[in-house]
Amino acid sequence: MSTAVVRVEYADGIASIVVNSPPVSTITAAVRSGLGAAITENTGRSDVRAVLMRCEGSTYFSGADINEFSGPPKEVEFRELFARLEQLKVPVVAAMHGTVLGGGLEISLACHYRVALAGTRMGLPEVSLGIIPGATGTQRLPRLIGVDKALELILSTKPIDAAAALKLGIIDAVLEGELASAAHAWVRALVAEGKGPRRTGEMTVDPASATPEILARHRAAGAKQYPHRQAWSTAIDAVSASVTKPFQQGLAYESELANLTKVTPEAKALIHVSFAERETRRVPGLPADVKGQAVRRAGIIGAGTMGGGIAICFANAGIPVTIVDINEAALKRGLGVVDGTLESMVKRGRISAADKAQRLGLISGSLNYADLASADVIIEAAVERMDLKQQVFRQIDAVAKPGALLATNTSTLDINAIAAAVKRPQDVIGLHFFSPANVMPLLEVIRTDQTSPAAIRTAMDLAKPLRKTPVLARVCYGFIGNRMMEGYAREAQRMVLEGATPRAIDTVLENWGMAMGILAVFDMAGVDVGVHVHRSNADKYPPDPSYYQADLALFDAGRLGQKTSKGYYRYEPGDRKRHDDPEALALLAAAARRLGVPQSEHSEQEILERCLYPLLNEGIRILEEGVALRAGDIDVVWTSGYGFPRYRGGPMFHADAMGLRSLYDGMLKYRARFGPMHWEPAPLLKRLVEEGRTLADWQRAESQKA
Ligand code: NAD
């Protein structure tokens, strides 16, 4: 039998069900129907001694079809298909390769035996999407490896490799060589040994793997790892039921829980962000035939914090990179930091010593711009000064090969003005990495008025080997992320002048789900960094005498944050734990008196609203101005670069979730209290509220226009 995506081949008494569903063998409706037909054909065939199931292309089943998540429940359909597979009278063997996730792993658990090529990775990431493995995984996996280990895998959400899966007992063998023939040989041997079906559904769970202590340990770890979330806890409920409930009842319970989790705000938000992250690379309006250029060699100007981190990204990707700095001392210091960063990766077991040596071998230092002549991309990460950056770009212009991408890592400067310094402005682009550049997944890509489509494509494609999520933006002060940060942090700083403590503000933000309170962020990044930015951009801000004055009060007193052990908080040397500091409060109170800032009480609600509303409102402006391509891009910027809780879906998703009307009314409430300078609702917000539409509605309509 054969359908467009599934065919069955017969050889040596073995029926091989072969799935061909590129690009990643998703278990689509077509695949399920093909599998159903293949099972029907093999049910009761006397010449078939075993069934082998494998996928062609880059991977075995990578998972269920995420597009189906929002539709009617599919659990029962999956369950019935898997049951028919499991009930075949001859041994059924799953032969895996690639990355096997979610439903992909669950279908193999319904087979009687599992083998995988060396290097195959497999896991159950559902909890990271706010759902649970709902295609029999919570009942089958513990029958194979016990509740404790099953929960470890499910709650970690991370894939493990074939060797680890063999050790755990998830698979029966790790195969080498070419999958089809190696798996066929393995099945022939199985048949020769006279092995029959071995159904997971007929196994029982070892109760010793689910003692109250074990379950309590997972509950405690889950609560810590996933604050404010619930899918992890529901997963524990489902998996532990495998001990007490017979298989069929367990499956019914699993379906019930799976359907409950799918409609939670948490799942909707997490699935939204996951979709949005896949979307960012798509650039509407770029002609389809525009090709970026492959980056085989890179250059970096500036061996400082950012330059070094970016160099590690290239080396991690196997791309040779040359860093240029102004003098031997700066270069040496920078390369020393790079060495130290790689060494700490070795110490933490992230890479081997050989990996480190190989990566260091890809990074070279130079004092000569001419050494960048063969680079396909050159990223400037020197100090944040326009005259200096223009000078650097003129020097790059003189040596770079034709067509090389000329990028700046500036956070605040006008990239149009930087591009004006060179004879090839079409090749100039912003590549805004976040600190630490080798860790943070976000990459803002900023196109100027003249950046060519090919340069945009090159930059967006470059994100892939660098393992970054690229988000395209247009030039404006702060681009997407920092521009939205401006009002959020402004209010936090204003409230400490009004008498709120830094701890009160940070606690509210962290309890709401921000990875770190904004004032603690300033202490970590350096209070001086913000002060310098605000000094050099003074002409861009509204005429508010209290604007970012809390930072300045601390800065003037030499409190630069963690690096001086004093900022908004006090720190013990070598420790990042925040201690309240009356000295900081006194300085802030004195600044408030000097500036005439009235003192007030701040409820938790007020703290949250005053920080959050400007952030959301500015995001809506950015959207309307076309600075960001899509609402989802803004969500990705803030969830992957600024610690906004993923389970709230990002600022634009959250604005819809809380209701645009509440946001609008909230802006008006504070406008009435503080005046219009900072509290004018974005025009698009006002319009959507009047029309009774959401940002998602607006986005859909805009995407259809494009
Ligand atoms: P840094 O001070 O750590 O490093 C700057 C390096 O550039 C120094 O080694 C310096 O010697 C070198 N340099 C100065 N002039 C040079 C020249 N003409 N040619 C070659 N090298 C020169 O600075 P950083 O924190 O790495 O920031 C670099 C850039 O990245 C700035 O534009 C900054 O705004 C931006 N940025 C910084 C961060 C951050 O968190 N630090 C985040 C995003 C973007």
Q: Under the phi-then-psi rule, with left for phi > 0, alpha for psi from -120 to 50, and beta for the rest, what region is 145?
A: alpha
- Domains (range + CATH), the chain: 6-263 (3.90.226.10), 298-476 (3.40.50.720), 482-626+659-705 (1.10.1040.50)
Structure tokens at 63: 């998972």
pLDDT of residue 64: 85
Q: Is 77 a catalytic residue?
A: no
**Residue 392 beta carbon below 6 angstroms from any ligand 1 atom:** yes
pLDDT digits (tens, 9 = 90+) for 361-403: 999 999 999 999 999 999 999 999 999 999 999 999 999 999 9
Q: How far is the CA of 439 from the centre of ligand 1 (A)?
A: 17
Catalytic member of 86, 126, 266, 498: 126
Q: How far is the CA of 457 from the centre of ligand 1 (A)?
A: 25
Q: Is 380 a catalytic residue?
A: no
pLDDT of residue 640: 97
pLDDT of residue 610: 98
Which uninterrupted H or E stretch holds 79?
helix 75-86
> CB-hemisphere CA count at 13 Å for 278?
7
Residue with tokens 């069955």: 8
75-79: Cβ within 8 A, 24+ apart: 75/134, 75/135, 75/254, 75/255, 75/258, 75/259, 76/255, 77/32, 78/27, 78/32, 78/103, 78/106, 78/134, 78/135, 78/136, 79/135, 79/136, 79/251, 79/255
Instruction: Return the axis-axis angle of helices 502-512 and 481-497, rounded to nearest 10°.
Output: 140
pLDDT lower than 50: segments of the chain:
none
Mutate to test the pocket of ligand 1, among 300, 301, 306 (most ligand atoms within 8 A of CB): 306
Catalytic member of 106, 380, 498, 606: 106
**Residue 34 beta carbon below 6 angstroms from any ligand 1 atom:** no
**Residue 383 beta carbon below 6 angstroms from any ligand 1 atom:** yes
